Structure 1
Amino acid sequence: MKPVYSSFMEAVKEIKDGSTIMVGGFGLCGIPENLIIALAESGVKDLTVISNNCGVDDWGLGLLLQNKQISKMIGSYVGENKEFERQALSGELEVELVPQGSLAEKIRAGGAGIPAFYTPAGVGTPIAEGKETRVFNGKEYVLEEAFVADFSLVRAEKADKMGNLIYNKTARNFNPMIAAAGKVTIAEVEQLYEIGELDPNMIHTPSIYVQGLVLGEQKKRIERLTLSK
């Protein structure tokens, strides 16, 4: 059985200044929103964050940006966050943009123990500057190194007390690969089950990748609300 933390603050207490963290989610879908709030309240700083994007100005990873807790952001998308744009343009924040498919594979490779791989994405662009390239079957590829993190924060709909996780539809997104690529993975879950209550065939992330669980409700904010007339 994995530890089930009594609070979100307790769940993030081992994350120290200078840590590298991966955070699941795509936009605001599938983000571990309560763990992010706890990090914001903890005051931990100088974080390197690996995530598809950086939330919005007042929610998700945007809360850490507001507090100047992130020193480097690695992701594939800057949009929807004016503070992210401002800090990047002013030089307050170091930003590494990675093609979205390459970002996914760099995280997946890190979780699989693969240190690097070749991809055609980014060849002939600034993405490839300073990186090794090779030609395979007449096509040029660039070498990309895998990502791993000190801590991975993910969100799941269901978990059992062993730490097996099930995600809800598109909220799965980056979460399974991020769960595998963290040295310590903490899962924020909405429903907690006894061992044996979840169908093994439905498990998305096996318990071996998860070191701790925390249970709580979420607001599940919509990134951009569009209503029909």
Structure 2
Amino acid sequence: SQDVENSVEVEVIKHLITYLKITQKRALSHLQRAVHYEPSQYLKMDYHAKRNLELLRNLRTQKKSGTLLWLLDSTKTAMGGRLLKQWIDRPLINIKEIEARQSMVENLLTHYFERSGLQEELVNVYDLERLAGKVAFGSVNGRDLIQLRTSLEHIPQIRYIIQELNDDSTFDEIFDKLDPIEDIADLIEQAIEDEPPISVTDGNLIKPGYSQELDEYVDAMKNGKAWLAELEAKER
């Protein structure tokens, strides 16, 4: 894939984004950069070939078990699982891209301790793509934010391990894209309770001390009578 440069494609993307803005009426900052997808870059297989090869679905049960995906899938995150599924569904045919992917796999296979450490870190990373979408759509709740914070807290160590693996610059692109955005993790740490309720309307979401104004409202709600008496005394 590559950046979109064709003027027709650019116009189509503009219309799509305009449509989304009109219909969704909210921020679209979670959308990723559009890339040019050329089917000729991948091995062409029709529906029947994919079905008979049982790449993603078992012919008999129509489930994942017994398929190539099932055999290969040792991914530790939901994002990794989706990427592997995409790779199996669209095999590369470009030799350079195949060799680059093989180099990364070989690098991981020959560095047992780094690979194990990376797996341990990834287990603690939640579905960042899903969380980013929920944040952008305004449907995120407190527990989602804790999952986001937890995931971001593991990014620095993941970057460190990848840097240790990157002797031959194999992982340069991945390393450069890993931004721990520590300011976001710190903000969630300061503002959100460690065990927030599922619904944002249940209260007890924001930590005491984060917002003086909110603390005053909470205190007024809990100690309403005393607060009213104090207010009456002040007004007199």
TM-score of the superposition, structure 2-length normalised? Answer: 0.21
Larger radius of gyration: 2
Structure showing greater relative contact order (alpha-carbon pairs closer than 8 Å, 6 or more residues apart): 1
TM-score of the superposition, structure 1-length normalised? Answer: 0.22
* Structure with more strand by fraction: 1
